[in-house]
Amino acid sequence: MSQEVLEKPSAHPSARVYLSIAAILTAITVVEVAIFYIPAIRGTMVLAPVLLLLSAGKFALVVMFYMHLKPDSKLFTAIFTAPLVLAAAVILALMTLLGAWVY
Amino acid sequence: MEATAATPDSLESSSRLWSWITTTDHKRIGILYGATAFVFLLIGGLEAMLIRWQLMKPDNDFVSAETFNELFTMHGTTMIFLALMPLSAAFFNFIIPLQIGARDVAFPRLNAFSYWVFLLGGLFLNASFLFGAAPDAGWFGYANLTSIQYSPGVNIDFWAMGLQILGIASLAAAFNFIATIINMRAPGMKLMRMPVFTWMAFITQFIIVTAFPVITVALVFLMFDRMFGANFYNPNAGGDLLLWQHLFWLFGHPEVYILILPTMGMVSEILPTFSRKPLFGYPVIVYSGILIGTIGWGVWSHHMFASGMGAAADTYFGAASMLIAIPTGVKIFNWIATMWGGKIRFTTPMLFSIAFIMLFTIGGISGVMHASPPTDLQQTDTYFVVAHLHYVLFGGAFMGIFGAIYYWWPKVFGRLLNERLGKLHFWLAFIGLNVTFFPMHLIGMLGMPRRVYTYSAELGVGGMNLAATIGALTLGFSTLVLVYNIWHTAAKGEKAGKNPWGAATLEWAMSSPPPVYNFSVIPEVTSRLPLWTVGGMNEIPDVPPEPIHVPGGSYWPVLAALGLVGFFTGALMHSLWVALAAAAVLVVSVFKWAFEPFEM
Amino acid sequence: MNLDRRSFRRANQLAVLASAALLLGLAGCQGPFPQSTFSATTELGEDLSGLFWMIFWWGVAVFAVVQVGLIYVMIRFRARPDQPDPAPIHGHTALEIAWTLAPAMIIVFIAVPTIQVIWKEAGTDTANALQVQVIGHQWWWEYRYPEYGIVTANDLHLPQGRPVELQLTSADVIHSFWLPRLAGKRDMILGRTNRLVFTPDSVGEFWGQCAEYCGTSHANMRFRAFVHTAADFDSWVAEQTSAPAAAETLNDLERRGLAAYREVRTPASNSCIACHAIQGISAGVLGPDLNHMGSRSTVAGGTLENTADNLAAWLRDPAAVKPGSLMPNTGLTESEIAGLVAYLHSLR
Amino acid sequence: MSTAAIGHYTSTGQDTRKIAFWTFIGSECMLFGTLIATYLSYEGKSVVGPTPQEILNIPLTSVSTFVLLMSSLAMVLALAAVMRGDTRYSKVWLATTAVLGAVFLVFQAFEFTQFVDEGLKISTNLFGSTFFVLTGCHGLHVLVGVIWLATLLIMSARGKLGPEKAMNVEIAGLYWHFVDVVWIVIFTVVYLIQRGPAA
């Protein structure tokens, strides 16, 4: 967060980029729901990691491109990711301490 | 406590009261915070006196059990949420913009909103006394004592909603200060050239921003359990009572760092000034502050060693809690090194800061004693912990804050507080504190648990409890000496120039009290200690070369605050109409506020 | 300036003397401390206080270093008239490393024994341990010995030398079982069972108290533990498992008490049999089990000695003894109270 | 960061409101993180009553997820339109975003009423309590977003939302995308990964 003189304004991506990202997001959602309905995967242990990965992908896409975090100053990335990581840690810690990992 | 107005030219306005109600000037909001918090400090202190009077001797009947339980709950809640945090906020408000060379905070109206929500929240919480239903489940309010089954009255509703309101005030202020510190520093003031008080405040705001949502969620769960029959803390429906303890202490431990870090910043400003020497190891103090803030998030369950979480959890939380002693120890050694080789003047702020180091060390050590889970099995929930927490919160936070009051008073009001009365206040407080809280280590180890309205004579701790009561009365009286000092110097205090203590940071570069625009020209700094370094900063003329636009007042923040607190009052009264009406006031005020032309 | 230094030094000595006198004087003149954590009598208790004293002496060492350093600095570097401004020293890396490593070393010295004790206490085997279920109620203690089928209240009886495993839970809010001289404390939480394992070594009477704030009469939730020799414990068990004396053997005062005990009052929840249990007479579960109540050392959750007039005072107005008590004031007449006291004390 | 000329000096060259708002989003991460942590910790621990497997309606929520994704697309297109000063498309895309958000809320309201009819209320069991508070809190945020977008739409209709006001729209966009991102997590964690014993 060193002091930068007025940062060079990076142009916002064109509409075409946004449309392609929307298409990817839709595709991932369709895949997620499809996986949900495949009985072979539904009951197994592999369902959760796959779905978490896919949704993390959607999460990153929206945050980096729609919320313009990727081209923006690293200041915003820092302010957003620190609490995000903390929130993830809190989720894992509470699930562990309250005994939620039982299957 | 109607403070003397800042410099006459800065506060011309039709009626004085209306100008205070609609003020958006960070300096006046700081004074409002300080005055309100000081009144709540006196209320909390009165509650402490009543508690000590009841515990003066075994089987005493000065107050009933119900009243005692309300007193210790309100003493804890008031001291933490209504006295200590707002007193720190008073200094954040007044001093941070001056230290970073800004004309005001980033969002002045949001700043006013924070204050009014805080004030109304404090009144909301204390209004419970008028209904004879003050909160009585402890400042921590463990689940299912707070459930509707075991606390059917409105006591807990007052407590939970009061904390929600105060949480909103703290969060709003935190966003404001983070934006101010990041974006409104004077040219040349890189992050590592910021004064240490602003650094510690910066870390504190990030802890507030991440910790308060957790207790907000915990309180929402509690309110849904009580009002809509939800099952969050209902073991019969599969709920786990430890969920509340985990969520509360996930907020609770970062909270105690919210309480102590600002004071560490204040002490780090006072010690160099009166040792005539720069702070020793500035970057180390800053990084250890950041380390305390982050590790502070990984230790919360040391409040729960007796709840049977299992050996693995106890081992981790015990080790992590001990780890925090290292950055704290490093700070203490750096403070002593600051004084080493200095030219030490024992003014009142300096005495309070030295006492802070002494007493906070004792509190830190007694803290490490129950960071170890097995010893905590004897110490938790006993008076040993009461001694520990008062050494770090009174000996630590309040001594530092009293020092800061005497240190920055001339800058805020233009007059120095009387040194002789200051020293009397210091010695009475120092002796009173030790006489009150040192015996409590022993009382706890000899078997007296916390929050008991009485104890049997055979327990053998009657004599020490009497000593603690005498000490508490001394402490109470010492605070009155400060009140007299304030009243005495309001008119007759020695005039303070720009820099009565010869300090090094930016807030001493303009007149006392500062003009409403703070700096006639925006300062440019080239060093961490601008006033002590040759060419450290540009010249600040007394009269601004060209007119400076000062934003006017606005009444939308106070109306929005009334709407918000009205909504909670409606919820408390289980009256949908009051809640909806208040919500309407809030929404209208927010819209009007958003569209009000307010030129920064 | 002189005034500050002289008054400062004299007042400082005064403060140190006052604190020291206070500490020593008051500690000495008190009688024996029934709930002191300093005089543990079990291996578990000794482990806990051993750790405490180890950390305590480390603390005293650190305290000494800091205070001596501070006082030396205050005296050595106080401002002397027309003394030049000191050199602006900003830092010293070697020193920083030194006083980061030093506390880290101390922490290691403290952490290792701590972790050893944690895992030792968690790992104690409870093969032939005496199982006692301890159930916390708002403001009294219920004990159950499944091995002997005994249900009692407030007085915990344990045999010497045999490990005991307390199964701690609560029937309402969170309490905390604290028996300083034998075992430290452990929370009692509705919906969970916590365990506390220790081996009572020396015979005697040990006091305990609830340590987690649990409502109006949290201060009155006390109990006593009695460690007996193996023989005495067996005779206690025999006494507790014996059937109550037959109605005919009661004298007429006790018989009047039995009648009062059995009487259905208005409202029905005011009648003794609604909450209390005596073998063959009533099976209430809300209040303490009154079988063999006469042999108990205290009344009203450990707050009053079990004497006739204490029991009478308790029956006359429970809320006066334990504010917020769930036992209602049943408006007993003096003769009913006298009868009940005699009858209850007859249940040896 | 080209959206708004910066009136006065700032230390980082970024817009102060944007810094404050990203901090607010960080704080909201902790709020939703705690809600999700409680949901996951209590999953499968309900003693009685309908379980997630029995009652969750995946087709309906898949559609509402798609609706929210498309509203994010509409939001960025609205921002692009405002930045280029294209008043017509500003209004079109702002309206589309608000309407899609409202549709999502209708779907959610329908889902809630259906659950209540099938016997899952907030007081029924742990699942009911955690589910309704988590999704209800998210729904409230969507409602606030729709009102915010409607306000921007009115400003744009009155010609008061020119390129110089683009930062207002960008910040509304940050809020809207964040609410969408939270739903992405909720949709996966609550609806698709139904842990815990089937009924």
Residue tagged 């007996």 (tokens): C228
Q: Is B357 on the interface with C (CB under 8 A)?
A: yes
Tokens of residue B501, six digits: 């203590």
State chain C's mean pLDDT as an integer: 88
Q: Is B592 on the interface with C (CB under 8 A)?
A: no
Q: Is the dihedral of CA D155, D156, D162, D164 positive or negative?
A: positive
SS3 assignment, position C23: helix
CB contact under 8 A, C114 and B341: no
Instruction: Select the residue of D28, D34, D133 nearest B247 (Cβ to Cβ).
Output: D34
Tokens of residue D198, six digits: 């089937």
Q: What is the 3-state secondary structure (H, E, C) of B224-242?
A: HHHHHCCCCCCHHHCCCCH
Q: Is the dihedral of CA B66, B68, B70, B72 positive or negative?
A: negative
CB contact under 8 A, B242 and A1: no
CA angle B331, B336, B340 (to 5 degrees): 140
Tokens of residue C177, six digits: 């079982």
A68-90 burial, b at 16+ Cβ within 10 Å, e below that, comes to bbeebbebbeebbebbbebbeeb
pLDDT at C247: 76
pTM attached to this predicted model: 0.93
Write out chain B residues lying below 8 Å of D17, CB-based: 179
Q: Read off the pLDDT band of A3 (50, 70, 90).
A: very low
CA angle D30, D35, D39 (to 5 degrees): 140
Domain range list for chain B: 4-554
User: What confidence tens digit (pLDDT) does each residue in D40-88 have?
Assistant: 999 989 998 899 988 999 999 999 999 999 999 999 999 999 999 999 9
Q: Which H or E run includes B275?
A: helix B242-275
Tokens of residue B19, six digits: 């100008």
CB contact under 8 A, D195 and A6: no
Shortest CA gap D124–chain A (Å): 21
Q: How many CB pairs under 8 A join A and B?
A: 29
Percent over 70 (pLDDT), chain D: 94
CB contact under 8 A, A98 and D170: no
Domain range for D23 is 14-192
CA distance B137 to B4: 40
Own/partner pairs for C311-317, CB < 8 Å, 24+ apart?
Answer: C311/C340, C311/C341, C311/C344, C311/C345, C312/C337, C312/C338, C312/C341, C315/C340, C315/C341
Question: How many of the other CB atoms lie within 10 Å of CB of D187?
Answer: 23
**What are the pLDDT tens digits along chain B (600 aa)?**
333 333 343 445 556 899 999 999 999 999 999 999 999 999 999 999 999 999 999 999 999 999 999 999 999 999 999 999 999 999 999 999 999 999 999 999 999 999 999 999 999 999 999 999 999 999 999 999 999 999 999 999 999 999 999 999 999 999 999 999 999 999 999 999 999 999 999 999 999 999 999 999 999 999 999 999 999 999 999 999 999 999 999 999 999 999 999 999 999 999 999 999 999 999 999 999 999 999 999 999 999 999 999 999 999 999 999 999 999 999 999 999 999 999 999 999 999 999 999 999 999 999 999 999 999 999 999 999 999 999 999 999 999 999 999 999 999 999 999 999 999 999 999 999 999 999 999 999 999 999 999 999 999 999 999 999 999 999 999 999 999 999 999 888 899 989 999 999 999 999 989 999 999 998 999 999 999 988 888 888 888 888 888 888 899 999 999 999 999 999 999 999 999 999 999 999 999 999 988 876
Shortest CA gap D176–chain A (Å): 9
Tokens of residue B199, six digits: 């650094």
Shortest CA gap B198–chain A (Å): 16
pLDDT at A47: 87
pLDDT at A102: 75
What architecture is domain C247-346? Sandwich (2.60)
CB contact under 8 A, A67 and D173: yes
Write out chain D residues lying below 8 Å of B210, CB-based: 26-27, 30
Checking if the pLDDT of A4 tops 70, the result is: no
Instruction: Select the residue of A1, A79, A86 nearest B191 (Cβ to Cβ).
Output: A1
In B61-187, DSSP assigns E strands to none
Report the domain count for chain D: 1
pLDDT at C281: 87
pLDDT at C9: 52
Whether D199 is covered by a domain: the verdict is no
CA distance B74 to B134: 7
Q: Is B214 on the interface with D (CB under 8 A)?
A: yes
Checking if the pLDDT of D124 tops 80, the result is: yes
One-letter amino acid at C238 equals A
Write out chain B residues lying below 8 Å of C91, CB-based: 280-284
CA distance C210 to C198: 18
Tokens of residue C15, six digits: 């403060």
Residue D101 φ then ψ, to 5°: -60, -45
Confirm if B218 and B248 have CB atoms less than 8 A apart.
yes
Residue tagged 């009053």 (tokens): C304
pLDDT at D199: 39
Q: What is the 3-state secondary structure (H, E, C) of chain D?
A: CCCCCCCCCCCCCCCHHHHHHHHHHHHHHHHHHHHHHHHHHHCCCCCCCCCHHHHCCHHHHHHHHHHHHHHHHHHHHHHHHHHCCCHHHHHHHHHHHHHHHHHHHHHHHHHHHHHHHCCCCCCCCHHHHHHHHHHHHHHHHHHHHHHHHHHHHHHHHCCCCCHHHHHHHHHHHHHHHHHHHHHHHHHHHHHHCCCCCCC
One-letter amino acid at C21 equals A
- CATH class of domain segment(s) B4-554: mainly alpha
Q: Do chains B and A touch (3 or more CB pairs under 8 A)?
A: yes
* C contact test, residue of B192, B378, B459 with most C CBs within 10 A: B378
| DSSP conformation class of B192 | G
Shortest CA gap C81–chain B (Å): 10
> How far, rounded to the nearest angstrom, does the alpha carbon of residue C309 sit from its chain's CA centroid?
26
CB contact under 8 A, D20 and B213: no
Domain range list for chain C: 130-240, 247-346
Confirm if B518 and B98 have CB atoms less than 8 A apart.
yes
CA distance B457 to C28: 16
Shortest CA gap A80–chain B (Å): 11
Topology (CATH) of C130-240: Immunoglobulin-like (2.60.40)
Question: How many of the other CB atoms lie within 10 Å of CB of C37?
Answer: 25
Confirm if B139 and B80 have CB atoms less than 8 A apart.
yes
Q: Read off the pLDDT band of A1 (50, 70, 90).
A: very low
Alpha helices in C29-133 (DSSP H): 43-76, 93-123
CA distance D82 to D93: 10
Query: In chain B, helix, strand, coil percent, each to 5?
Result: 70, 0, 30
ipTM value, please give it.
0.92
CB contact under 8 A, B438 and C89: no
User: What confidence tens digit (pLDDT) does each residue in C191-230 have?
Assistant: 999 999 999 999 999 999 999 999 999 999 999 999 999 9
Name the residue among B132, B157, B275 with its Cα closest to residue B222: B157
Ranges of chain C with pLDDT below 50? 1-5, 7, 19-31
Write out chain B residues lying below 8 Å of D149, CB-based: none
The residue count for chain A: 103
> How far, rounded to the nearest angstrom, does the alpha carbon of residue C237 sit from its chain's CA centroid?
24
> How far, rounded to the nearest angstrom, does the alpha carbon of residue B511 sit from its chain's CA centroid?
27
Alpha helices in B446-497 (DSSP H): 462-492
